[in-house]
């Protein structure tokens, strides 16, 4: 539930349209989502072995610290808090608030509803990891039901399908086509991102070296199957041109099949999906800031754990407060433009930890990555190709993200010096 909940937000309901605007045949559209699924699954296999070797709180943060250097781990936590996690949460909270207003008819400011939602989720997760995980599981099941309804309606209730596998491409194979396909992969990979956040709570699992690899693999397989099915029914019902034309493909599909009630039903499904993503984000990511504080490179108070609920209350509150600041500043749209590059830099770095850990072989892993080092090297290459293509396509946005990353270097050394003093 945590792995799938951290992946499935609002992206799968909207990003199919962004993909169809870059590439223009059903085969290429579905191919992009299948390719993205294979990348995510390869990453899950790699993380499964790393997590079985290092079942520590903080997930990626701990892996980077143990394999490379505390500075690399700090920079990951730095951009996670300032940009990646909180920027994504702010955007998703706004999406939830807009759908909430549409469904209820309440005339309230979007930022106010978004802030109240964040406060409520923060309170639930501060009451204990069990309550937070129960809420997450409930929302995830409701989310799967909503996506399942979309798939069934698109597959069986749309009478005029537009789907055909021919032609495979609409232009000669060239550098331009490859660049377009690479641009299409940005929203695909953004939609697939998030499964790795399940690793953050490794320290609170009863048997993390056994259960976390299973959760990663089963969760990512479930997400891939759902995503490919959703895109198949969207292309089948709307055609690639129709898919590219709409900003809300899921609502357009449901309205074709069921009219206005269908559009309302999927709006409710999207609201639940965004709420589930936020619940997972509030539950998992603060464990990274907790680990940073324990290492003496962040506010010491964030390492405090409530004696009764056993959760890092200050770390949870800090993330929610920073998310609300981004929310009220209105800067989340710009932040999302460079989230992908930041995310995939650290995806590649974390995957490369496996080379270091295999060489050390200090622990016997319950799970081992098939065909390593070839598969691991290919995953790292794909990750950094995504970053390179993002820099090429969106240079100004990516450079802002890189600047944020670089600013973390002096902050780390200042914090280390202050901590020792």
Task: For residue 195, count other CB atoms closer than 10 A to its CB.
Answer: 27
User: pLDDT digits over 133-158, tens only?
Assistant: 788 888 888 888 888 998 998 888 88
* pLDDT value of residue 198: 82
All structural domains of the chain, each given as residue ranges with its CATH number in brackets, are: 2-420 (1.20.1740.10)
Higher pLDDT: 183 or 80? It is 80
User: pLDDT digits over 93-105, tens only?
Assistant: 888 888 888 888 8
* pLDDT value of residue 363: 61
* pLDDT value of residue 142: 87
d(CA 291, CA 302): 9
Please answer whether residues 303 and 294 qualify as being in contact, where contact means their C-beta atoms are separated by less than 8 angstroms.
Answer: yes
Residue 12, pLDDT > 60, answer: yes
User: pLDDT digits over 257-298, tens only?
Assistant: 888 888 888 888 888 888 888 888 888 889 899 999 988 888
* CB-count exposure of residue 210 (10 Å: 0-12, 13-18, 19+): middle
Q: What is the DSSP letter of 83?
A: I
Nearest one of 152, 180, 231 to 21, comparing CA atoms: 180
Q: How far apart are the first and last CA of the chain?
A: 43
* pLDDT value of residue 350: 93
- Quote the pTM value: 0.85
Q: What percent of the chain has pLDDT over 70?
A: 95
Q: Length of the chain in residues, anyone?
A: 421
* pLDDT value of residue 56: 84
Dihedral of alpha carbons 5, 46, 190, 344, sign? positive
d(CA 250, CA 360): 48
d(CA 67, CA 12): 34
Q: What percent of the chain has pLDDT over 90?
A: 25
User: pLDDT digits over 318-350, tens only?
Assistant: 999 999 998 888 766 666 667 777 888 898 999
On the question of a cis peptide bond just before residue 65, with omega within 30 degrees of 0, the verdict is: no
* pLDDT value of residue 328: 85
Token code pair at residue 126:
């501060």
Backbone angles phi, psi at 100, to 5 degrees: -60, -45
Residue 253, pLDDT > 90, answer: no
Nearest one of 300, 220, 167, 214 to 43, comparing CA atoms: 220
Please state which of the ranges 167-171, 190-194, 270-274 shows the lowest mean pLDDT: 167-171
Distances (CA, A) of 389 to 100, 174, 179, 181, 404: 36, 16, 8, 10, 19
Mean pLDDT across the chain, nearest whole number?
Answer: 86
Question: What angle (nearest 5°) sits at the alpha carbon of residue 70, between those of residues 344 and 125?
Answer: 70
Mean pLDDT value across residues 48-77: 90
* pLDDT value of residue 364: 65
Residue 421, pLDDT > 60, answer: no
Residue 225, pLDDT > 90, answer: yes
Which of the four pLDDT bands, split at 50, 70 and 90, describes residue 168? confident
User: pLDDT digits over 344-399, tens only?
Assistant: 889 899 999 999 988 887 666 678 888 889 999 999 998 888 888 778 777 877 78
Residue 201, pLDDT > 90, answer: no
Which of the four pLDDT bands, split at 50, 70 and 90, describes residue 77? very high
**Radius of gyration of the chain, Cα coordinates, nearest whole angstrom:** 21
């Amino acid at each position: 539930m945590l792995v799938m909940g951290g992946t499935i937000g609002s992206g799968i309901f909207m990003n199919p349209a962004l993909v169809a605007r870059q590439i223009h045949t059903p085969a290429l559209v579905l191919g992009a989502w299948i390719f993205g699924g294979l990348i995510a699954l390869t990453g899950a296999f790699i993380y499964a072995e790393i997590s079985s070797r290092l079942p520590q709180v903080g997930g990626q943060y701990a892996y980077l610290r143990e394999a490379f250097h505390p500075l690399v781990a700090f920079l990951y936590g730095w951009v996670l808090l300032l940009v990646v996690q909180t920027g994504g949460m702010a955007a998703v909270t706004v999406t939830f608030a807009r759908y909430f207003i549409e469904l209820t008819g309440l005339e309230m400011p979007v930022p106010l509803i978004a802030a109240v939602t964040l406060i409520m989720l923060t309170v639930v997760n501060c009451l204990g990891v069990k309550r937070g995980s129960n809420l997450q599981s409930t929302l995830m099941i409701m989310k799967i039901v909503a996506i399942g309804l979309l798939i069934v309606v698109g597959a069986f209730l749309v009478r005029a399908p537009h789907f055909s596998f021919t032609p495979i491409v609409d232009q000669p194979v060239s550098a331009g086509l490859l660049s377009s396909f690479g641009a299409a992969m940005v929203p695909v990979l953004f939609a697939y991102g998030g499964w790795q956040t399940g690793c953050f709570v490794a320290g609170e699992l009863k048997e993390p070296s056994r259960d976390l690899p299973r959760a990663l693999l089963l969760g990512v397989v479930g997400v891939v199957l759902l995503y490919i099915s959703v895109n198949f029914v969207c292309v089948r019902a709307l055609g690639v041109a129709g898919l590219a034309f709409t900003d809300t493909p899921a609502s357009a599909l449901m309205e074709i099949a069921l009219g206005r009630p269908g559009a309302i039903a999927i709006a409710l499904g999207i609201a639940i999906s965004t709420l589930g993503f936020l619940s997972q984000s509030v539950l998992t990511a603060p464990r990274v800031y907790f680990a940073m504080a324990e290492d003496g490179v962040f506010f010491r108070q964030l390492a405090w754990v409530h004696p009764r609920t056993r959760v890092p209350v200050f770390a949870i509150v800090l993330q929610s407060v920073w998310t609300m600041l981004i929310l009220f500043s209105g800067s989340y749209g710009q932040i999302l433009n460079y989230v992908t590059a930041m995310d995939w830099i650290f995806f590649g770095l974390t995957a490369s930890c496996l080379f270091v850990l295999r060489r050390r072989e200090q622990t016997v892993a319950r799970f081992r990555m098939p065909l390593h080092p070839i598969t691991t090297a290919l995953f790292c290459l794909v990750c950094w190709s995504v970053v390179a293509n993002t820099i090429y396509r969106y240079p100004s946005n990516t450079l802002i993200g890189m600047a944020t990353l670089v600013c973390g270097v002096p902050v780390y050394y200042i914090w280390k010096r202050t901590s020792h003093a």
